[in-house]
Structure 1
């Protein structure tokens, strides 16, 4: 049902849940998430009315973990209205954005704990760091992620790197035992060994983005580049930086001397952010293997082979 016209803005469009989100979450018609999806258009319309927002359009194709709509405030300020999939991850995203308060990340303007709605500073969704040449993108990414690494608030709700990777260890064991993963078992074994050793003596405990990569950094007006879509946790910086090491690994694979180029990338990022090279190399290998095995289990063998090859270069 379309909402009524709002003063100062055109009629809003009907809120349609993007197909990508439906495909990612809508398999089980009896699940709580499917019920949330079914109710989402009405929830969004009520939130628009409650916050006096004018809907421009729903962002498509959008992501797989929530709906984002481009809106305008009553004073015509552009903003983004986000509905993350409800649960602990959504609560942690809200807490991290509130704690950063716009420092290195999109500013949280308003939140509704009942609906999970987040009203965010509008960024240029079509312009991420991936639009830049690789050296420039890495430089800007390093400057952005550095701002996010702050002490967590007291009584924070965030999981730890140790806790998250404990779950990943069990996944690695199961996936690595599959017949199709036989060639990757030496890398899987090394990733498991690194998972056991690296969290034993973490050098620091700071708030991390958790899913930081070039595509998660968008162009803004208030600042040139700001991060979005955190999966926040607390732990050491090398873990957060490891996902950035893996970014655009297809570019390295297509160039000369990919193994040496991968090791140079680790060294350059570690040195620019004062992170221990060996720890960054270890977490990068761990995350490459874990992500590669997940892609293989999902049927994306091409991406899986590339990530596992990247792990071998390290």
Structure 2
């Protein structure tokens, strides 16, 4: 199944992507980041649909800017104002848009496992913009791009991912891609936020151990997801697992701070650290457009 999906130019996740494929996407993003004009006619006459069955303003805008910079015609579809609310299935909606002649679809959805099934039935390339707690490949790619641009390489880096691993598609996509490119990944999370099935690929460490990493990646934490959590408040979580100013002082001189955003300021990371010298949070966001340009171009080439 995986091979068939890749030959059809789908991008369902980073799991199964080779080091060569990952590197070629990063290299092409570098080309687009340096591209001298804002809008090219690379994909003139091609139609791309952004199909968001789950809200995300930043990711959708980033894809839309990427598509428009490539000269594509953009169709935006959000489930909140669509017939999916009336019970039409995600599959029917995607098939409908495919039958209208779209050339590619960017898709974000809540259900796990549905995207791989869709990719078997839909002939146009699909790009995963986040599915359930499974994967978010373009986020991981822009994270890798940020690391490679800063350090000059990814192989040999130690990346610590801290927070709600259990619900995080970002953690999973980063884990698979980073391991493929030779980085070492460790996780740090309270017991109820751990994903036990990932422990064989990345060990769980203490917060003090995590702070020794080259890259400290904080995840957005939503305490309401965890029934019977150890933490009664955001303040308690911050005290135990947040990147506070005191903890940040222990980071290695060369270390960088990352976060997929949106950030809960003063929960997983202190307000004054969000734009400090070590922080790459807004840099990551700026890399979203060239990465997504590379991915859309790959789908349609």
- Higher share in helix: 1
TM-score per shorter chain, which class?
A: under 0.3
Determine which structure has more spread, i.e. the larger CA radius of gyration: 1
Q: Which has the higher contact order (CA 8 A, sep 6+)?
A: 2
